[in-house]
Amino acid sequence: MSTLDILRVPVLSDNYVWLVHDKASGETLVVDPAVAEPVLEAAQAQGWTISQIWNTHWHGDHIGGNAGIVAATGAKVTAPAAELAKIPDVDRPVREGDRVRLGAHEAIVMEVPAHTAGHIAYHFPEESVIFVGDTMFAMGCGRLFEGTAEQMYTNMRRFEALPDDTRVYCAHEYTLSNGKFARQAEPENEAIAARLAQVEAARARDEATVPTTIALERATNPFLRAASIEELASRRAAKDRG
């Protein structure tokens, strides 16, 4: 079980920004701040001061709050080395296998391109926690804006290999639409049907449906469950068509 405090900050229409706090050191980081003010306010309400920003990729709804948070706190920015041209004022560019820390807690950088060419994830193996940005969602995966189905299939295999209890923190509340598509993609899958019913009830109460877990995604995510590159590509194209 993680000893990190992880706080969800809903912003914009469906983004989740994650505040991660280490009690022992008093350090706090923010993952993919779309905007600054709500994140700063959420940290202040907890009595936390942000010292680090970790970006998973360059899209504006993941880095838009960087400058404001840096100006307010002096936080240092960690971001994918492959996307430095698109993310300003990065203090530490990172690549596959690099290790980053929050207090005594160490995360390993995973390169997971497909949604963007340089997309990364941050995996805390000892905490059973991973921040995946827009690569994987609850019951879904990111659009292939700058990469290929083959890359996304490889990403799914890497995620699938993580322990069942790994908690997956993605950056959007897309589970309801993803669940409806999953039901179409695998109409015989009873686990998907049961989860979709739970998601529909949660969203009707305006409750969040993430984080998720690797075990749950193995059972209900049609992209993680795709048996081949071709099947993933076909499912992604069908989802894109709506």
The model's pLDDT over 174-184, given as tens digits with 9 standing for 90+, comes to: 999 999 999 99
- Per-residue model confidence as pLDDT tens digits over 200-231: 999 999 999 999 999 999 999 999 999 999 99
Of 21, 22, 59, 123, the catalytic one is 59
Catalytic annotation present for 134? yes
Catalytic annotation present for 62? yes
What is the per-residue pLDDT for 118?
98
Catalytic annotation present for 172? yes
What's the rounded Cα separation, in Å, for the pair 20 and 25? Answer: 12
Whether pTM exceeds 0.85: yes
- For residue 1, pLDDT over 60 is answered with no
What is the per-residue pLDDT for 3?
81
Indicate the pLDDT class of residue 60, thresholds 50, 70 and 90: very high
Catalytic annotation present for 105? no
- Output the CATH code of domain 4-241: 3.60.15.10
Of 105, 115, 119, 123, the catalytic one is 115
Domains in the chain: boundaries: 4-241
Average pLDDT, stretch 101-130? Answer: 97
DSSP labels for the chain?
---EEEEEEEETTTEEEEEEEETTT--EEEES-S-SHHHHHHHHHHT--EEEEE-SS--HHHHTTHHHHHHHH-PEEEEEGGGGGGSSS-SEEE-TT-EEEETTEEEEEEE--SSSTT-EEEEEGGGTEEEEETSEETTEE---SSS-HHHHHHHHHHHHTS-TT-EEEESB--HHHHHHHHHHH-TT-HHHHHHHHHHHHHHHTT-----EEHHHHHHH-TTTS-SSHHHHHHHHHHHHH-
Of 32, 105, 119, 134, the catalytic one is 134
Catalytic annotation present for 123? no
- Per-residue model confidence as pLDDT tens digits over 3-17: 899 999 999 999 999
- Mean pLDDT across the chain: 97
Of 57, 105, 119, 123, the catalytic one is 57
Of 21, 62, 105, 119, the catalytic one is 62
- For residue 121, pLDDT over 70 is answered with yes
Of 61, 105, 119, 123, the catalytic one is 61
- For residue 2, pLDDT over 90 is answered with no
What is the per-residue pLDDT for 242?
83
